[in-house]
Homo-oligomer: A and B are copies of this chain.
Amino acid sequence: MSDRAQYLLALFIEEHRAGTPVSTGRLAERLDRSAAAATEMIQRLDDDGLVSYEPYEGAALTGPGRERAATLHETYVVLSWFFRDVLDLDTYEREAREMADLVSPAVAECLVTLLFEDEADMPDASSATTLDRESFPDE
């Protein structure tokens, strides 16, 4: 279940950006794949029960799918912050996106506490309310 993560994350973000359902074409463009590849993958995710897919309509995350996608997204956001604020990388977005599904929740949580060490307050690690403000890149 490794490459599926890219699609789940893209779907999660796209649902927030433009609402549900999300067309396969949108996903294909976002992930820089052929339209056919996106359709196929969405069908696979539908089989897995992570996505509800209606041909010619689009896809929407199911309960379990959204859960997984949210975790992925949080990891992605944390990684972005880490790469940008701590490592000062200009490619932070790409790196974060590609690594999100490989980084275990344990590592992600460690990074969260690390990130808030310098800050005054210490919010709950699992709530990303403050992070979600800037966490949906529009492109």
Contacts and interface: CB of A to CB of B under 8 A. Distances in A.
Nearest to A88: B110
Chain A interface extent, by class:
10 to 19
Nearest to A83: B107
B98 A102 contact: yes
- If over half of A's interface residues share one DSSP class (helix, strand or loop), that class is named, otherwise mixed; here it is helix
Interface string A75-86: 000000001001
Contacts of A110: 86-89
Contacts of A126: none
A114 interface: yes
Interface of A: 83, 86-89, 91, 95, 98-99, 102-104, 106-107, 110-111, 114
